[in-house]
Amino acid sequence: MKHQEGALTLPASSEAAGAKLYCQSWTPEQTPKAVIVLVHGYDEHSGRYAHFAEHCTKNGFAVHSLDHWGHGKSDGVNGFVPNFSVYHDGLDALITELPAEQKSLPIVLVGHSLGGLIGATYLLKNQDQFIAAVLSGPAIKATEEPSSFMKGLSKFLSNIAPKMGVLGLDANGVSRDPAVVADYLADPLVSGTKISARLAAEMMTNMETIQSQATKITLPMLLLHGEKDRLTAPEGSVFLHENIGSEAKLLKIYPELFHEIFNEPEKDAVLSDMTNWIESILAR
């Protein structure tokens, strides 16, 4: 396996123009059969996916990922984003900078948690770039649906105090494996910052967007979710499975698993489910 690190620059058209984003890739020794573009979740970073990348490269896939603006080793403000489109700008830059020899290969989008929401909304305008998509614990529906009052308050705070922290994540909901939780809490690239008023409002807006436009997605999609996920609602994955326009789609809800299904004790089985499904799509 070959590992490389690099940097991307957001274009002048972005609301975070000129920002530098950290990126990295893992490539198998042999010519890859396909490329996985990995989109990580809130308050984490691409470096937490080394085991994911190891599994994928052993199965012949190249993996490319970046740290979102405001995350990991990238520029930006923890917990905040000026506009959700900045995340899409990062994906644009990452895909544009894929190695020339890999651009002609089938590309699969894999998004986890907030990355699932980023990925799903990105597909609304860019699905023709991919052969398939895999969403893990995507943030499509909130675990507790906010009231109209809370939605209005969120938008109000987004305008007057956009960087104010409004929502914290419970690290104990990440995994049933205590070592994973301990590593997450000790990770210097995990800030522990609350989701800001602006990011919360942007997430709610984009959740509404994907819910109202899900039928536009027609490419093959695999939806994976832990049944005991307390950070993103499994109902969001169920909703997408029932409403996307894809003919080739599969929903797997894992009993007892928490939010980070790629970091649960059963992670190897989950990863095999993912790569086996991708293989089935490539074989079509």
Active-site residue set: 113, 229, 259
> What one-character-per-residue DSSP string does 39-69 give?
E--TT--GGGGHHHHHHHHHTTEEEEEEPPT
Query: Measured between alpha carbons, how far is residue 10 from residues 19, 22, 57, 90, 94 in Å?
Result: 5, 11, 28, 7, 10
* Residue 134 phi, psi dihedral angles, 5° rounding: -125, 125
8 A C-beta contact, residue 258 and residue 225: no
Which residue has 């039928």 as its token pair? 215
* Residue 42 phi, psi dihedral angles, 5° rounding: -70, 140
8 A C-beta contact, residue 247 and residue 215: no
